[in-house]
Amino acid sequence: DVKVTQSSRYLVKRTGEKVFLECVQDMDHENMFWYRQDPGLGLRLIYFSYDVKMKEKGDIPEGYSVSREKKERFSLILESASTNQTSMYLCASSRPGGDTEAFFGQGTRLTVV
Amino acid sequence: GESVGLHLPTLSVQEGDNSIINCAYSNSASDYFIWYKQESGKGPQFIIDIRSNMDKRQGQRVTVLLNKTVKHLSLQIAATQPGDSAVYFCAENIGDYKLSFGAGTTVTVRA
């Protein structure tokens, strides 16, 4: 069974903290993605990576960075967490090509207080 | 901005009836579309996909219709069951392997 695993289901962090969200996939996929999900806004792409050490900005990269040192792992970093980053964060992976589905993790609900 | 959007944020359906969920997209160059289902507390799960060279594709109890003329996508669920209660997202491939998602439609099945 294919799997995308996010390290935490729930996180509570303080304003100004540096936050790491980890994601691991076991499908040997080249592409990995980080989305945030907010009510009424659907899923918005933060960053994606199509290869190790490669990264591309999505639609809302401000306040975030990413790291992909290994093919199976894609980390999302909040350099200095703010309350407007309270959200559900979803990691996904996919094979190369434009006609391929993305597989999602279960999500991390982050609350910044 | 969003290139994919759903017409209705919520849909209430009687158990056993058919459901139709609609989606409009704005990028005429999009060539691949997916419907995802997201149950409470879970990540989105793939339901069915369709390529732009097709008008219709059927799965188990689900059918996706694509009308490229009006840039419209729909998901039909036959004989809706309680387990179909979820949020449904359409997504389109906008190039560079990225998917753009709509806001989602919450489907509630009435017993």
pLDDT at A104: 96
Query: Which two tokens mark B15?
Result: 């158990």
pLDDT at A92: 96
pLDDT at B7: 62
**Cβ-count burial B32-62 (b if 16+ within 10 Å, e if not):** bbbbbbbeeeebbeebbbbebeeeeeeeeeb
What contacts B83, CB < 8 A, 6 or more positions away? none
pLDDT in tens, A91-101: 999 988 767 88
For residue B41, the chain A residues in CB contact (below 8 A) are: 106-107
pLDDT at A93: 95
Distances (CA, A) of A23 to A91, A104, B16: 6, 10, 38
**Phi, psi (rounded to 5 degrees) for B84:** -85, -10
Confidence check: pLDDT of B4 > 80: no
**Phi, psi (rounded to 5 degrees) for A79:** -60, -40
Best probe of the A interface among B93, B97, B100, by most A CBs < 10 A, is B97
pLDDT at B82: 96
pLDDT at B3: 39
pLDDT at B2: 33
A105 in Cβ contact with A92 (< 8 Å): yes
- Between A42 and B6, residue with greater pLDDT: A42
pLDDT at A80: 97
Task: Tell me if A43 and B89 make a contact (CB, 8 A cut-off).
Answer: yes
Nearest to A80 by CA among A107, A62, A54: A62
For residue A45, the chain B residues in CB contact (below 8 A) are: 98-100
pLDDT at B19: 95
d(CA A11, CA A8): 7
Helix (H, G, I), strand (E, B) or coil at A83: helix
Task: Tell me if B41 and A4 make a contact (CB, 8 A cut-off).
Answer: no
pLDDT at B68: 92
What contacts B69, CB < 8 A, 6 or more positions away? none
Can you point out the beta strands (E) in A1-113?
A: 4-6, 10-13, 19-21, 23-25, 31-38, 42-49, 56-57, 64-70, 73-78, 87-94, 103-104, 108-112
- Shortest CB distance from B101 goes to which of A43, A48, A106? A43
What residues of chain A score a pLDDT lower than 50? none
pLDDT at A23: 98
Nearest to B104 by CA among B28, B20, B37, B12: B37
Task: Tell me if A42 and B102 make a contact (CB, 8 A cut-off).
Answer: yes
For residue B89, the chain A residues in CB contact (below 8 A) are: 42-43
For residue A33, the chain B residues in CB contact (below 8 A) are: 98-99
Confidence check: pLDDT of B1 > 50: no
d(CA A78, CA A30): 23
Quick one: average pLDDT of B82-106?
88
Confidence check: pLDDT of B105 > 80: yes
Quick one: average pLDDT of B88-96?
84
Quick one: average pLDDT of B53-61?
95
pLDDT at A39: 87
